Amino acid sequence: MTRLFRAFGAPLASVILLLSGVWILGLIAAPQLIMIEQSLWRMERPEGSAEISVQIDGLYNRLDVIGLDRSVAESETDSAKRETELAALAAEEAAIKAEIAVLEEKESTPVKVYTLDNFGQMGSAHLAIFAKTIVASLAVSAIALVVCYPIAYAVAKLETPRTAAAIMLALVIPYAINELLRIFAWQMILNNNGPANALLGLLGFDPVPFLDSGAGVFVAMVYAYILFMVFPLYNVLETLDSNQVEAARDLGASTWQIHRRVVIPHARPGIAVGCIMTFMLSAGSYAVPYIMTRGTAAPWFTQLIYNRFFEATNWNVGAAYALSLLAVCTVFIFLMMRLLKVSLKDIAK
């Protein structure tokens, strides 16, 4: 800290600390912590509420009795006596009503209780969706890796630098075009009367309900996020010394052996970044399932989260769901870093 003040002088160092603090604490740490906290409690009826309701029932009975007493009192002929009795009953009635109000308030005001129940709310249906989301996201990552590796290798190592630059620039265009548009293109293609089904029709097949079956979600997801694999892979493979490949070949390695022993080990950071990005984007994608299902196919986990917050308005359960998703992503990141022996510095290039 003293180094900071020495390097920039007190006024500037203070500004730096203030801005960093707002960002790290105010925008990153505090919201995350509050979300975690929110997932850990819920409002419950207070303890002893059963006894209170018995008590309230008793008091309501008492009110009925007073009603009877009043009708008796009203038939009293002596007006003075009648007035005093009625006044006494009215006073008693008011007192009981006040007591009921207090008790009812006490009975119905929920109290904040810390519990892990929010996570247990998922139930088997939601748990299945959660599992499906994870498995599908893993599959998206795996497909992206398999499809993109040859592309990245071919561009980085077999093309001239000029051609490689042109190819990568061309790929920047679909990459930079808004995610929604990339998804929408596929919604059109896979629509019941879209070109995919038109083509199938020409071949004599019945139309396939891609969108209603949920298959469309997967197809669009691969398309939307595949380029997040190409660029990290290309960036690492570009730094591979071609002599390494030639040396391995000269020493007798086959194409497969060259990739297994030399190219893939070199590409580990890129593979890690690509897999983490595609997995994280797929598992956390709201746009793809939202647009590609039209509400007909089974929802994606992100849609469940959205519903908890903005439709069922149970924020505590919603926070628990969101936290589960975050936990899965975090575990995946650590797993990839462990498996591929890369550090966070390698990942955020």
Partner 1 sequence: MEIQMTGQTTGKAIELEQAAVHFGSFQAVHPTNLRIEPGEFFSILGPSGCGKTTLLRLLSGFLDPTGGDVRIGGKSMVGIDPSVRPTALIFQNLALFPLMTIWENVAFGLEMRGWTKAKRRARAEELLATVALSDHAGKMPAQLSGGQKQRVAIARALAVEPSVLLLDEPLSALDLKLRQHMRAELKQIQARTGITFVYITHDQGEALTMSNRVAVMNRGRIMQTGTPDDVYDRPDSAFVATFVGEMNAVDGKVVTALDRVALVETPLGRFRAANPKGLGPGDEAILFVRPEKMRLLNAKEDEDNSIAARVTRRDMEGAWSTVVAHAEGRELRLHLPHSGRDTPPSGEVTLGFSADAGVILPKGEMSDD
Partner 2 sequence: MTRAVSGSTFVLRLYMALFFAYMFLPLGVMVAAGVNDYSPPSITVWQGFTLRWFAEFWGDARMWLGLANSLLIAAAVMALALPMGLSGALLLSQLGRRSAGLLYTVMVSPLLTPGIIIGISTVIFWRNLDVTAGLFTAILAQSAFIASYAMLMFMARLQRQDLTLEEAALDLGASRARAFRRITLPFLKPTIMTAAVIAFLQSFENYNTTIFSIGGNHTLVTEIGARMRFGISPMINALGILFIVVTVICAVAWAALRRREYQLESVK
Residues near partner 1 (CB under 8 A): 241, 243-244, 246-254, 257, 261-262, 265-266
Q: Per CB under 8 A, which region of 33-41, 48-56, 60-68, 90-98 contacts partner 2? A: 33-41
Pick from 91, 98, 142, 181: which binds partner 2 (CB under 8 A)?
Answer: 181
8 A C-beta contact, residue 190 and residue 213: no
Q: Least Å distance between CB 29 and partner 2?
A: 7
Neighbour tally for 241: CB within 10 Å: 10
* Contact between 24 and partner 2 per CB under 8 A: yes
* Closest CB to partner 1 among residues 137, 235: 235
Distances (CA, A) of 199 to 105, 189, 195: 66, 10, 6
Q: Could you say whether residue 22 binds partner 2 (CB under 8 A)?
A: yes
Rounded (5°) CA angle 199-203-204: 115
Out of 41, 104, 184, 212, the residue judged to bind partner 2 by CB under 8 A: 184
Contact 235, 269 (CB under 8 A): no
**Contacting residue, 255, 331, 339, 341, with partner 2 by CB under 8 A:** 255
Q: Which is nearer to partner 1, 267 or 292 (CB)?
A: 267
344 is an interface residue for partner 2 by CB under 8 A: yes
In the complex, least distance from residue 7 CB atom to partner 2, rounded to whole angstroms: 5
Member of 88, 125, 147, 331 binding partner 2 (CB under 8 A): 147
Q: At what angle do helices 49-74 and 79-108 cross, to 10 degrees?
A: 160
Which pair of structure tokens corresponds to residue 3?
């180094």
Give Cβ neighbours of residue 292 (< 8 Å, ≥ 6 apart).
183, 186, 187, 190, 211, 216, 217, 220
Whole-number Å distance between alpha carbons of 349 and 332: 19
**If you search the block for the tokens 């119905």, which residue do you land on?**
108
Give the interface segment with partner 2, choosing from 60-68, 81-89, 120-128, 289-297 (CB under 8 A): 289-297
Residue 145 binds partner 2, judged by CB under 8 A: no
CB of 246 to partner 1, least distance (A): 6
Q: Which is nearer to partner 2, 43 or 88 (CB)?
A: 43
3: partner contacted, choices partner 2, partner 1, none (Cβ within 5-8 A by kind): partner 2
Residue 150: which of partner 2, partner 1, none does it interact with, CB under 5 to 8 A by kind? Answer: partner 2
Do residues 194 and 188 touch, judged by C-beta distance below 8 A?
yes
Q: Determine the interface stretch with partner 2 among 123-131, 232-240, 258-266, 302-310 (rule: CB under 8 A).
A: 302-310
8 A C-beta contact, residue 319 and residue 245:
no
For the CA atoms of 294, 296, 298, 301, the dihedral, rounded to the nearest 10 degrees, stands at: 30
Note whether 127 binds partner 2 by CB under 8 A. no
Told to check if 329 binds partner 2 by CB under 8 A, we report yes
Work out which of 139, 164, 171, 240 binds partner 2, going by CB under 8 A.
Answer: 171
Instruction: Decide: is 131 part of the binding site for partner 2 (CB under 8 A).
Output: no
Q: Does residue 183 touch partner 2 according to CB under 8 A?
A: yes
Q: CB pairs under 8 A, 24+ apart, for 35-41?
A: 35/319, 35/322, 35/323, 36/319, 36/323, 38/315, 38/316, 38/319, 39/118, 39/119, 39/316, 39/319, 39/320, 39/322, 39/323, 40/114, 40/115, 40/116, 40/118, 41/112, 41/113, 41/114, 41/115, 41/316
Residues 267, 240: Cα–Cα separation, whole Å: 8
Shortest CB 242 distance to partner 1, Å: 9
Distance of alpha carbon 274 from alpha carbon 285, whole angstroms: 16
CB-wise, 218 or 290, nearer to partner 2? 290
229 sits near partner 2 (criterion: CB under 8 A): no
Q: 112 or 338, CB closer to partner 1?
A: 338
